[in-house]
Amino acid sequence: MNNLIDGRRIAADIHSETAGRVAALLRRGVQPGLVFLRVGEDPASQVYVGMKEKKALELGIGSRTFVLPESTSQDDLLARIARLNADPACHGILVQAPLPRHIAAAVIYSAVSPEKDVDGFHPVNVGRLLLGDGGGFLPCTPAGVHELLVRTGVRLPGAEVVVLGRGNIVGKPMASILVQKSPTANCTVTLCHSATRDIAAHCRRADVIIAAMGVPEFLKADMVRDGAVVIDVGVNRVPDATRRTGTRLVGDVAFAEVQPKCRWITPNPGGVGPMTIAMLLANTVTAAERGS
């Protein structure tokens, strides 16, 4: 079926736009600078940071990565962030999750200057989002989902949207983006979670479903009405004896059974994932434009 939302193609379009903005800054003698802070040797974090750094360099964004030992104290990490906050060559700071258990993530994210918080996690930027103040940074994954919907031509004003999951990284900010009074939002949003009664009934009335619960293949065909738009944000590892690793990755949507009912649906992989990097780098360039 030709109803797939091609996240890789849309991300490439955004990267092209970002590269043009970088070129304009370089002509003025400003190179956008992005710094990654990674604590410990989590394998997934190594891969994620590597992908982000590679794409940043392709677009002409100056990229630096600091890898700190797992034993790094919270105070030492805060001191490193303070130095980057004061560094004029650094426009964006990304502290890669997960952090070691002895470090409070909320404290760390709050220490990054709001003007350099290209992940959109600082309380000031969260507040700006809730208030509809365009002067902050949007969290990259929900911002990427929004771009997928807008650039695919999904009509959002007045749409019934169900967001599955109330996490701080995707669910809550996603609902906040879509409820804003805007020509590219203005939705009626239902935010469902583990205590929601009869989630299926909420989903069946939705024009758009955004699945971000972290539950493998949670959204089934009988929960989706014909012609709905479904966005799968989930990344879950499940057992699979046929794979060399003994596992495989699946989303929060039972894709094979849900796809035939959809007007549009994201594949997984190839849907939301590429958009997160695209929005991160676009945010970094915005930070450089504001600071130059």
Cis peptide before 269 (omega within 30 of 0): yes
**SS3 for 11-52, per residue?**
HHHHHHHHHHHHHHHHHCCCCCEEEEEEECCCHHHHHHHHHH
Cis peptide before 98 (omega within 30 of 0): yes
- Residue pair 261/225 in contact (Cβ under 8 Å)? The answer is yes
Separation of alpha carbons 67 and 135, rounded Å: 31
Instruction: Give CA 62 to chain center in angstroms.
Output: 21
- β-pairing, 247-250 vs 236-239, is antiparallel
List the beta strands (DSSP E) in 102-258.
160-164, 188-192, 208-211, 228-232, 236-239, 247-250
Q: Which of 119, 207, 232, 252 is catalytic?
A: 119
**Does 220 participate in catalysis according to the annotation?**
no
Q: Which of 52, 55, 116, 172 is catalytic?
A: 52
- β-pairing, 228-232 vs 262-265, is parallel
Question: 292: how many CB neighbours lie within 10 A of its CB?
Answer: 13
Separation of alpha carbons 19 and 33, rounded Å: 14
**Does 96 participate in catalysis according to the annotation?**
yes
Instruction: Give CA 239 to chain center in angstroms.
Output: 26
**Does 133 participate in catalysis according to the annotation?**
no
Helices (H) and strands (E) in the chain, counts: 10, 10
Q: Which of 55, 96, 117, 259 is catalytic?
A: 96
Which helix (H) or strand (E) segment holds residue 134: the answer is none
Strand order in the sheet with 92-95: 62-68, 33-39, 92-95
Would you name the residues annotated as active-site residues?
52, 96, 119
